[in-house]
Amino acid sequence: MANQNHVDLLKRSVQVWNQWRENNINIIPDLQGADLSQINLKNANLERANLKGANLYKANLTDAFLGKAHLHHSDLTSAILLKAILRNADLSGAFLTQADLSKADLSQVNLEGSYLIDCYLIDVNLQGANLEGADLSNSYLNGANLEGVNLQNANLSNVDLSAAKIAHSNFQRAKLAGVISDEGALENLINLETFTLERSESRVSQVTKIATDSQFVTNSHSSNQQSVENDITLLGEIERLRLENSKLKLHNQQLSEKNLNLVR
């Protein structure tokens, strides 16, 4: 439960709150589960604050500082976070449907399993963020920085990625149906999948060579129990990697077909 004194102080005014934070730099605000819906928190200093499960529905957090804040499972539906600073914050499982985070700094943020449906993320900085399993469907990420972002299993259906930076991002098993993007970004997606595929093929070749060098096909008269066990282990590794390789080829082919249709 939240510290009611902290809640009351924040609701008095942002100016009073920020002055209190400045005078009490070692105190971590406890606002867990607090009802902060539809209040004006513009420019508020909420660094490291405990906002787990807090209700921030339609709150105005423009230019607010939320670096390293704990917002796990918080409700930020329709909240305004224009130019807000959320570096290294924990927003895992948070509800951000229809929120506006344009030009916000979300670098290194944990958004695993979060809901960012119909969001405005224009020119947002998500560099190095974790968005595994997040739902970003129908959102606008025009000009967003997605470099090094983990988007495994994320839902990007009908997302606008125009002019977005996606170098070194992980799109494995992400849903990309209806993605809007310029041609360059689509080519990057294909190259990312190709890189993963080539890496898998290289690993298969490497393991196969090890097996050959270790006399994988052993002579029954000279082999002993240990060498047989080693060979069985190598065989299993080869088969597993070949199966993974086949799956990646199929995924790469499907992604390429989708991207070609989008370019047309």
Q: What pLDDT score does 181 carry?
A: 87
Cα distance between the two ends of the chain: 54
Q: What pLDDT score does 206 carry?
A: 58
Q: What pLDDT score does 230 carry?
A: 59
CA distance 68 to 108: 10
More confident residue, 189 or 240: 240
Structure-block tokens of residue 89: 């914050």
Q: Which residue has the tokens 């009611």?
A: 4
* Cβ atoms of 138 and 157 closer than 8 Å: yes
- Cβ of 57: how many Cβ atoms within 10 Å? 17
61-73 average pLDDT score: 98
More confident residue, 164 or 222: 164
Q: What pLDDT score does 108 carry?
A: 98
Percent of the chain's residues with pLDDT above 90: 67
Q: Where are the domains of the chain?
A: 186-263
Give per-residue pLDDT as tens, 111-121.
999 999 999 99
What is each CA distance from 177 to 22, 151, 155, 180, in whole angstroms? 47, 14, 9, 9
Which stretches of the chain are DSSP H helices? 4-12, 14-23, 183-213, 225-263
- Cβ of 56: how many Cβ atoms within 10 Å? 28
* Cβ atoms of 129 and 108 closer than 8 Å: yes
Give per-residue pLDDT as tens, 213-249.
555 444 444 455 555 555 556 566 666 666 666 666 6
pTM: 0.72
More confident residue, 38 or 188: 38
Confidence of residue 205 (pLDDT cuts 50, 70, 90): low
* Cβ atoms of 110 and 133 closer than 8 Å: no
